Amino acid sequence: MDVSVDVSALAINVVIPEELRWRDTRRDEEFELQSLTIRMLPDGSLAAKAYGRPVAGGRGPYVSFPVPDRPELAALVSAAADEAARRWAAHG
């Protein structure tokens, strides 16, 4: 069977280590960013968004935040993509 597959993006979810977490505010509510969703786009580039929980507690809205331009976060994104590639390659 010959199947043509058009993969639009690959995505992984990564826990942000506690020492790399940060806080940001949305709609007057402060969030601690605890996870990243990293997508590999069709051109091979990576895009990342951060997600977290309200500092005051509760569920809060599910909104994304930009990932700050910090070397240690860029290294986390790169390491996570490498690990995902290793796992995909081992799939079978």
- What are the pLDDT digits (tens) for 29-65? 999 999 999 999 888 899 999 999 999 988 777 789 9
Confidence of residue 76 (pLDDT cuts 50, 70, 90): very high
The pLDDT, as a whole number, for residue 92 is 76
Burial environment of residue 31 by CB neighbours within 10 A (0 to 12, 13 to 18, 19 or more): buried
Answer yes or no: is 1 within a domain: no
Amino acid identity, position 41? L
Number of domains comprising the chain: 1
Instruction: For the chain, list the strands marked E by DSSP.
Output: 10-15, 22-26, 29-40, 46-54, 65-66
Answer yes or no: is 5 within a domain: no
Task: Extract the tokens encoding 89.
Answer: 């390659």
The pLDDT, as a whole number, for residue 61 is 74
Answer for the pair 16, 37: CB distance below 8 angstroms, yes or no.
no
Domain range for 29: 10-90
pLDDT at 68 over 90: yes
Answer yes or no: is 68 within a domain: yes
